[in-house]
Amino acid sequence: MFEEIRNSDIVQERAILVGVYGPETPRIQAEEYLDELELLTYTAGGKTIDKVLQNRMHPDPSSYVGSGKLRQLKSMKGEKNIDTFIFDDDLSPTQIRNIEKETQAKVLDRSGLILDIFASRAKTAAAKTQVELAQLQYLLPRLTRFWTHLSRQQGGIGTRGPGESQIEMDRRMIDKRIATLKDKLDKIDQQRQTQRKGRSEKVRISLVGYTNAGKSTLMNGLTDTEVLAENRLFATLDSTVRQYEIGNHEVLLSDTVGFIRKLPHDLIASFKSTLDEVRECDILLHVVDASSRVVQDYIDVVDDTLEDMGVNDKKSLLVFNKMDIIDSHRINELKRAYPDAVFISAERGIGLDKLENRIKELIEEDFVTKTMTIPAAKYEGVAFLHREANILEKKYEGSDIKLTFSIDKADLMRLNAILDNIDTAESVM
C-alpha cells in the first residue's frame, strides 16, 4: 500500500519538447538540440512524450511558434496527457504568458530547465548559494508571471493577480536576498583564494568540456579516485581538486561543472567562485565526447564559454574521449581533422599513458635545466630548489653544493632573487 502511494508520487512529468529550425539553424542541428533537451528533461526528472519542430524564419515574438502550431500543441496536450511544454530557446515573460494561456499547461524554457537541474543537484554550500543567486536573477524579470501563476493556483480561474504594490514589495525582498547571497559568495571566494595561494608552487591543470563528455571519469582514471560520474547532465556542479604526479611533477588536477549550449548568463556569473579554478590554472584539458555527431559545435560552445569567462590565453590540449564506442573510420576522420588532439577512452583506460606524456611535455615546455654551484651559506636557495625544482644531480664540493635541476622559468626568477645572482651560475640548456 505504502509502496503504491510512493510510486504514484514519482510519476514523471510528461513533457513535449518544442523547437524551431530555419535559415540560422538547419533541421538536423535543431533535432540534435532537441535530443539534448530530452536528456536535460530526463535529468530534471521528466519524460519526453513527443518532440515538435517548426520551420520558421525567426521564433514568433509573442508565442515563439505560430498560432496554428500553438493550437496543435493544445490538442496534443489533451490527447497525450501532457503536463509541460519545454522550449529549446529562452522565452520572454510575454511568450511564456501567452503560451500558458493558450495551452493551459506548464511552460518551461531552456534556462528555467537548466536552473532547475542545477538546483536539484547542488550539494555543497557554495554550489547551493551560487544556484540560488542565479535562480533569483532569472526570476526577477519574470515576477509578474510568477505571481499571476500563484494567484491562479490559490484563487482559481479568473482571480486577478496581486496589485503592483505587492509585486514591488516582493521585488525588493528578492533584491535584498540577492545582496545577501552575493556577500556570502564573496566570503567563499576569499576563502578559496587563500586556499589556492597555499598551493601555488604546483602545476594546476583543469578539466573542462561539454557536460557529459567524461571529465569526471577521466579524473577518476588519472588519479585513482572516485568522483561521481554518471550518464546525466551536470553530474558535477562544484570543483574537486586532486593532487597527483605526472613524471616528477606534482600536479593539482581539478574537475568542474560542464558547459552546455546557451548556459544562462546569470549562471556563469554566479558560478564565478567554482570557475576560478579554471581561470587560474596553468593547463586546460578540453575533454570532448568523440561519439557526438556535432563534435565541432561542442568544441565551439566550450571555447565561447571560456572566452566569456575571460579565459583565452591558456595552454590547452584537446582530449577526444569515448573512443571505445566509435568505429575506426570515424577515428581516422577525427585524427585528420584534429591532428594535435589526444584520443582516449577514460572509462576503459585506453590512451591514458599517451595523454600523460603529452601533459608532461606541456608542463616541461616552461622548464629549463640548469646547473649551479651554491655556497652552503645560501641554504635558502638550496631549500627553495628542493621545494620548487626537480633535482637531477647533486654533488658536494667542499662547502659548496653543485646542483643540476629543471625548473619553471618563473621559479628560476624567484630563485635568482633569493641568491642575489650568484656568479657561478651556468646554463646547460
Ligand X SMILES: Nc1nc2c(ncn2[C@@H]2O[C@H](COP(=O)(O)OP(=O)(O)OP(=O)(O)O)[C@@H](O)[C@H]2O)c(=O)[nH]1
Q: The C-alpha cell of 155 is what?
A: 484563487
The answer to whether residues 181 and 132 touch, using CB atoms and an 8 Å cutoff, is yes
* Helix (H) / strand (E) containing 254: strand 249-255
131 annotated among ligand-binding-site residues: no
Which lies closer to Mg ion via its Cβ, residue 230 or residue 380?
230
Residue 200-239 contact track with ligand X, rule CB under 6 A, x = bound: ---------x-xxxxxxx-----------xxx-xxxx---
Q: Residues of 277-295 as b/e, b for ≥16 C-beta within 10 angstroms?
A: bbebbbbbbbbbbbebebb
Which lies closer to ligand X via its Cβ, residue 291 or residue 371?
291
Which lies closer to ligand X via its Cβ, residue 16 or residue 229?
229
57 annotated among ligand-binding-site residues: no
Of 226, 225, 212, 307, whose CA–CA distance to 268 is shortest? 307
Residue numbers 238-277 binding ligand X by CB under 6 A: 258
Q: The C-alpha cell of 328 is what?
A: 575506426
HSE-CB at 328 with a 13 A cutoff on CA atoms is 0
Question: Under the criterion CB under 6 A, does residue 321 sit at the interface with ligand X?
Answer: yes
Query: CA-based angle 307:191:175, to the nearest 5?
Result: 70
CA 14 to chain centre: 28
From the CB of 17, what's the least distance to ligand X, in Å?
A: 20
The answer to whether residues 18 and 82 touch, using CB atoms and an 8 Å cutoff, is no
- By CB under 6 A, name the one of 286, 322, 358, 370 that touches ligand X: 322
Closest residue (Cβ) to ligand X? 258
The answer to whether residues 302 and 210 touch, using CB atoms and an 8 Å cutoff, is yes
Question: Under the criterion CB under 6 A, does residue 284 sit at the interface with ligand X?
Answer: no
HSE-CB at 315 with a 13 A cutoff on CA atoms is 15
Which lies closer to ligand X via its Cβ, residue 49 or residue 228?
228
Where do contacts with Mg ion occur on this chain (CB under 5 A)? 215-216, 235-236
Question: Under the criterion CB under 6 A, does residue 131 sit at the interface with ligand X?
Answer: no
- By CB under 6 A, name the one of 347, 364, 388, 400 that touches ligand X: 347
219 annotated among ligand-binding-site residues: no
Which lies closer to Mg ion via its Cβ, residue 107 or residue 235?
235
From the CB of 344, what's the least distance to ligand X, in Å?
A: 7
- How big is the site for ligand X, counted in residues (CB under 6 A)? 24
235 annotated among ligand-binding-site residues: yes
Of 232, 297, 287, whose CA–CA distance to 254 is shortest? 287
Q: Which residues bind ligand X (CB under 6 A)?
A: 209, 211-217, 229-231, 233-236, 258, 321-322, 324-325, 345-348
